[in-house]
Chain A
Amino acid sequence: DQQVKQNSPSLSVQEGRISILNCDYTNSMFDYFLWYKKYPAEGPTFLISISSIKDKNEDGRFTVFLNKSAKHLSLHIVPSQPGDSAVYFCAASALGGYQKVTFGTGTKLQVIP
Chain B
Amino acid sequence: GAVVSQHPSWVICKSGTSVKIECRSLDFQATTMFWYRQFPKQSLMLMATSNEGSKATYEQGVEKDKFLINHASLTLSTLTVTSAHPEDSSFYICSTDLSNYGYTFGSGTRLTVV
User: Is residue B44 contacting chain A, with contact meaning CB distance below 8 A?
Assistant: yes
Q: Which residues of B contact A (CB under 8 A)?
A: 1, 34, 36, 38, 40-46, 91, 93, 95, 100-105, 107-108, 110
Contacts of B95 in A (CB 8 A): 103
Inside 8 A of A6's CB, which chain B residues have their CB?
102
Q: How far is the CA of A97 from the CA of B104 in the complex (A)?
A: 20
For chain A residues 1-31, which have a beta carbon within 8 Å of chain B? 2, 6, 9-10
C-alpha spacing A44/B37, complex, angstroms: 11
Question: Could you list some 12 contacts between A and B, CB below 8 A?
Answer: A6-B102, A9-B100, A9-B101, A32-B41, A34-B41, A43-B45, A44-B36, A46-B42, A89-B103, A97-B41, A98-B41, A100-B91
Q: In whole Å, how far is A35's beta carbon from the nearest beta carbon of chain B?
A: 11
Residues of B within 8 Å of A49, CB to CB, are 41
Query: Which B residues are in CB contact (< 8 Å) with A9?
Result: 100-102
Is A63 close to B, CB under 8 A?
no
Seen from chain A, the residues whose Cβ lies within 8 Å of a Cβ on chain B are 2, 6, 9-10, 32, 34, 36, 42-46, 49, 87, 89, 97-98, 100-103, 105-106
Cα distance A98–B108 when bound, in Å? 13
Separation of A106 and B95 alpha carbons in the complex (Å)? 12
Q: Which chain B residues border A103 with CB–CB below 8 Å?
A: 95, 103, 105
CA–CA, A9 and B2, complex, Å: 14
Indicate if the CB atoms of B93 and A100 lie closer than 8 Å: yes
- Docked pose: A9 CA to B1 CA in angstroms: 13
CB distance from A80 to the nearest CB of B (A): 21
Neighbouring B residues of A34 by C-beta, 8 Å: 41
Instruction: Write out the residue numbers on chain B whose beta carbons fall within 8 Å of the beta carbon of A87.
Output: 103
The 6 closest A-B pairs by CB, nearest first: A43-B46, A105-B102, A100-B108, A103-B105, A46-B43, A45-B43
Known: A10-B100, A43-B45, A103-B95. 20 other contacts (CB 8 A): A2-B1, A6-B102, A9-B101, A42-B46, A43-B43, A44-B36, A45-B43, A49-B41, A87-B103, A97-B40, A98-B41, A100-B91, A100-B93, A101-B38, A101-B93, A101-B108, A102-B107, A103-B105, A105-B103, A106-B102
